[in-house]
C-alpha cells in the first residue's frame, strides 16, 4: 500500500491554502500514484485569532472545502484524509478530520478530542478551547481491507486513545498536526515512534511547517511515516513538500506475531 503525506505552510488566506492543497495533491498523485493521501491539521486556514478561525469554518456536508476534497478524491480515485478543518455544527465549532473515498463520498469524520491549551517554554500561549469544542468519538475507517485510525496533533500525548484505536483493529494510524516548533524539536519524533511501537501500527504523522499568524507562531514540520517496529521509513525536510512511502502490510502481522503485546494487555479502553 502506497501512502503520501502532504506537508504545508498554511496561512490565514483560505483561497490560497485550498489552491495550494489541491496543487500538492495533484502533483503527488501524478508522481507516485498513492492509494491514501493525507493533509495536515488546519490545512485550509491557520491563524491565532479565534474569530478568524470561526469565520473560516463550514457546515458539512457542503461548503467550498468539502466540495473540493470530495472532487479531488473522486478525480484521482484515492482515499483522501483531509487533515483537519474548522467545522461549524450548530453553535459549536470543531477541529475536524474529513476522509473521502475514491468515489468522493465521505467515509469518516473525526472531531479532535484533546485540545491544546498550553503555554510553551518560550512563553507563547495556545488556547485551542477558545476556538473549538472537543469531540467525543473514536473513529476508524477502511481503505480496502485495512483499518485506519484517526487522531489529531495534541492527541498524540494521550496513549489511551491509540490503544483504543488498536483495539478496534487499526493497522494504520493517521495524525495530522500543526505541532509547535518549540515542543516538536524535542517531542514530535519520540511521541510518534512510541505510538507506533505500542500499537504495532504504521503511524503517519503529517505536519504543518514554518511560521504563521504573521510570524508569531511556528510549526515543526518533519512529517514522518513510521513502521510497526518504530523505525522512521520516510521523513520530510523543513519546507512545503510531499513524501511517499510503501507500507508492507504483511510486516504488521509479523511484528504482532513475534511480539504479541495486544494479547498480553490486561486493560481495554473504550
- What CA–CA distance (Å, rounded) separates 44 from 8? 10
Instruction: Show which residues are catalytic.
Output: 41, 112, 153
Cβ atoms of residues 2 and 244 within 8 Å: yes
Half-sphere CA count of 221, side-chain side, radius 13 A: 19
The C-alpha cell at 72 is 479531488
Angle at CA of residue 152, ends 220 and 232, nearest 5° = 55
Which residues are bridge partners to 212 per DSSP? Answer: 217
The DSSP symbol for 153 reads G
DSSP state for residue 66 in the 8-state scheme: H
Amino acid at each position: 500500500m502506497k501512502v503520501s503525506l502532504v506537508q504545508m505552510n498554511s496561512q490565514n488566506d483560505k483561497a490560497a491554502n485550498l489552491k495550494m492543497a489541491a496543487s500538492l495533491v495533484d502533483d503527488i498523485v501524478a508522481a507516485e500514484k498513492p492509494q491514501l493521501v493525507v493533509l495536515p491539521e488546519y490545512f485550509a486556514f491557520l491563524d491565532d485569532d479565534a474569530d478568524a478561525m470561526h469565520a473560516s469554518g463550514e457546515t458539512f456536508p457542503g461548503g467550498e472545502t468539502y466540495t473540493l476534497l470530495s472532487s479531488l478524491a473522486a478525480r484521482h480515485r484515492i482515499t483522501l484524509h483531509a487533515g483537519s478543518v474548522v467545522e461549524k455544527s450548530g453553535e459549536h465549532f470543531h477541529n475536524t478530520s474529513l476522509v473521502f473515498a475514491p468515489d468522493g463520498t465521505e467515509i469518516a469524520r473525526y472531531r479532535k478530542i484533546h485540545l491544546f491549551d498550553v503555554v510553551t517554554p518560550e512563553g507563547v500561549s495556545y488556547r485551542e478551547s477558545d476556538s473549538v469544542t472537543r469531540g467525543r468519538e473514536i473513529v476508524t475507517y477502511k481503505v480496502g481491507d485495512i483499518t485506519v485510525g484517526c487522531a489529531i496533533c495534541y492527541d498524540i500525548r494521550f496513549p489511551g486513545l491509540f490503544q483504543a484505536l488498536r483495539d478496534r483493529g487499526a493497522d494504520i494510524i493517521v495524525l495530522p498536526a500543526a505541532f509547535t516548533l518549540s515542543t516538536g524539536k524535542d517531542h514530535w519524533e519520540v511521541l510518534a515512534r512510541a505510538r507506533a511501537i505500542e500499537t504495532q501500527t504504521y503511524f503517519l504523522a503529517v505536519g504543518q511547517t514554518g511560521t504563521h499568524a504573521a510570524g508569531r507562531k511556528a510549526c515543526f514540520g518533519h512529517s514522518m511515516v513510521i513502521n510497526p517496529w518504530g523505525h522512521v521509513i520516510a521523513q520530510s525536510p523543513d519546507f512545503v513538500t510531499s513524501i511517499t512511502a510503501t507500507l508492507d502490510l504483511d510486516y504488521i502481522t509479523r511484528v504482532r506475531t513475534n511480539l504479541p503485546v495486544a494479547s498480553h494487555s490486561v486493560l481495554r479502553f473504550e
